[in-house]
Amino acid sequence: MTTDYIVASLPALAFGEPAPMEWGAFEALAGGRIAAKMREWADIETQLRNAAAEARGGANRRRKAEGCSLYWRNRVKECFAEKDVAARDEMIDRVWWDAAGELADVADPLGAGALAAYAVRLKIAARRSAISKEAGDAAFDRLASAGR
């Protein structure tokens, strides 16, 4: 299958919605088509993580990254102004979600970049799908009972 066919056939993915497929199924479809774009994502993610470290007061713990986007840095800083931890985590995930769009090439909307952006977003959706009040309560109960 060609990359554009795979991208066109993927189920819709929306922030805040459950992951529409399992990672293994996606990986089987994608094969090795996104390795180069995922290296590009590693650099973008490093920039985002550096901005988060800076917002937390750890600017001296920055890692080397090729680019430097003031836009993403400011978006991450805005997240840390939020006092509600759950809302902050959602805002941070939204920034990562939006930044994944940087991988998609406007001139090649069904190419490897779009497939890599889908991969990043699928991981975010899967992680966010696992977040629930019940899971949080169970984790709290485990920690509370271990401390007795």
- Quick check: is 106 in a domain? yes
In whole angstroms, give the CA distance from residue 76 to residue 38.
Answer: 21
Which sign, positive or negative, has the C-alpha torsion 113, 118, 121, 126?
negative
Residue 72's pLDDT is what? Answer: 87
- Quick check: is 87 in a domain? yes
In whole angstroms, give the CA distance from residue 78 to residue 70.
Answer: 12
Residue 118 lies in domain? 19-146
- Quick check: is 134 in a domain? yes
- Quick check: is 13 in a domain? no
DSSP letters of 103-124?
GSBTTBTTSHHHHHHHHHHHHH
Mean pLDDT of 58-79: 75
**pLDDT cut 90: percent of the chain above it:** 49
Count of domains in the chain? 1
Mean pLDDT of 42-65: 79
- Quick check: is 141 in a domain? yes
The per-residue pLDDT of the chain, averaged, comes to 88
Among 57-61, 101-105, 120-124, 129-133, the least confident range: 57-61
